[in-house]
Amino acid sequence: MACQNQHTIKFDKLELHKITKDQFKSLGTLSGTPIPIDATFNPSHIYHFNGRIFLVDIDHTAGMLRIYDDSILVSERIPQGAGPHELPDIWNIQQITPDSFMFYSLYGRKIIPYNYPKDTLYSGIKINLLAFDNPIVFGTTLWVTSGNPEPGCKSSRFSQCDLSGNYITQFGELPVLDTTLSPEAYGEAFMVKHDYDPNSQSVVLGYVYTDFLEIYQMNGEVATRLFGPDYFTPVLRPRHYATNASSYRMVVRPVIDETRYATKDLKIAKHKIFWLYDGRFIFQRGKTRSELDDNCTDLYLMDLQGSPWYHLKLDPPLFTFAIAEDSNILYGLSSVNDIGLFKYVLPEL
């Protein structure tokens, strides 16, 4: 039984389509081939743009971004810092055109335009919201997940901003939480992984603490909501932390043997959703955090309407991945031993 100060997120006001594991046709196990990378470079993010692999290590101060042509290191870019050609961190990268990108700095709370051929950063766009997760450049606006424009406002799935970072409106229904949290803590409870597909103009959200997926269209309407395959809602414990002598900040924390990981990563590619799914407890009694594996073996594929297609097992398991649209290759990062880069040949789908 959950303790009195543990709270469960409910979904009773949302229309959900349940999915099961047996709806996905098993295609067996994919074995990855290791690609050597410098042992001093420990990437946490991976992307595939313009036929090349982009790896990000925000702790590598000399250059947080490394670009590979398969196994060949092409360039190292974006030093860590506060200078005109530096960034404090790179938390997300979105490609706008073949030559232009948007970098998101979590520390700076900005998106920064970047010219790829010129290796040039431009003036950043400050996002003027109280609490948010990752921004998405969507047409002529920004969609910001878990956004709240001011204290006390009703939380929504998205806040929409103009390209100057100023709040326009909110949309998208969130699940119901049976307790009162600050906007920051509420956003943390509903943390998501996301990807954007410019071809179908769709945004796919995978929730971190529940096996819940949403597919949104550019007009802000939900195409579908999926729940499963294990049907768990997040159990989180609110806590107050002192930020200084007179101020406290509410956060939420996972509960041992109760809170589970769902979405580890997801990508839209080849007109499909690739969903790296976990389903295990984040913390287990009697085990230290270092004894628990952050990597996932289960990769589920579905179409952009949310219809289940295929299930693949990954060996070794991964914590994040990218799809090469032009070569039917999946590149992924694994931390089974040290951080390693692996290449998987996808079956013809």
* Strand, coil or helix: 289: helix
- Full DSSP string of 151-204: TTPPP-SEEEEETTS-EEEEE-PPPEESS---HHHHHHHT-EEEEEETTTTEEE
Which structure tokens are listed for 294? 């952050």
Domain 7-97+186-345 belongs to what topology? Neuraminidase (2.120.10)
- The Cα–Cα gap between 168 and 172 comes to 14
Residue 137's nearest CA partner among 100, 89, 174, 108 is: 100
**Whole-number pLDDT of residue 2:** 36
Listed as own residue / partner, the contacts of 104-110 with beta carbons closer than 8 Å and 24 or more positions apart are: 104/134, 104/135, 110/165
- Tell me what the pLDDT averaged over the chain comes to: 87
In one-letter notation, the amino acid at residue 304 is: L
**Whole-number pLDDT of residue 224:** 93
The pTM of this model reads 0.91
Within its chain, how far is the Cα of 304 from the centroid? 18
Domain parsing of the chain, residue ranges: 7-97+186-345
Is pLDDT above 70 for 149? no
* Strand, coil or helix: 139: coil
* pLDDT tens string 197-241: 988 899 999 999 889 999 999 888 999 999 999 998 877 777 766
Do the strands 17-18 and 222-227 form a parallel or antiparallel pair, or are they unpaired? parallel
- The Cα–Cα gap between 89 and 106 comes to 7
Q: What are phi and psi of 48, to 5 degrees?
A: -135, 110
- The Cα–Cα gap between 201 and 228 comes to 24
* pLDDT tens string 57-97: 999 999 999 999 999 999 999 999 998 899 999 999 999 99
Percent of the chain with pLDDT over 90: 56
Counting runs of H as helices and runs of E as strands, what totals does the chain give?
1, 31
CB 302 within 8 A of CB 272: yes
Report the length, in residues, of the chain: 349
In one-letter notation, the amino acid at residue 269 is: A
- The Cα–Cα gap between 343 and 321 comes to 10
Q: What are phi and psi of 186, to 5 degrees?
A: -65, -40
Is pLDDT above 80 for 4? no
Q: Region of 70 please: left (phi>0), alpha (psi -120 to 50) or beta.
A: left
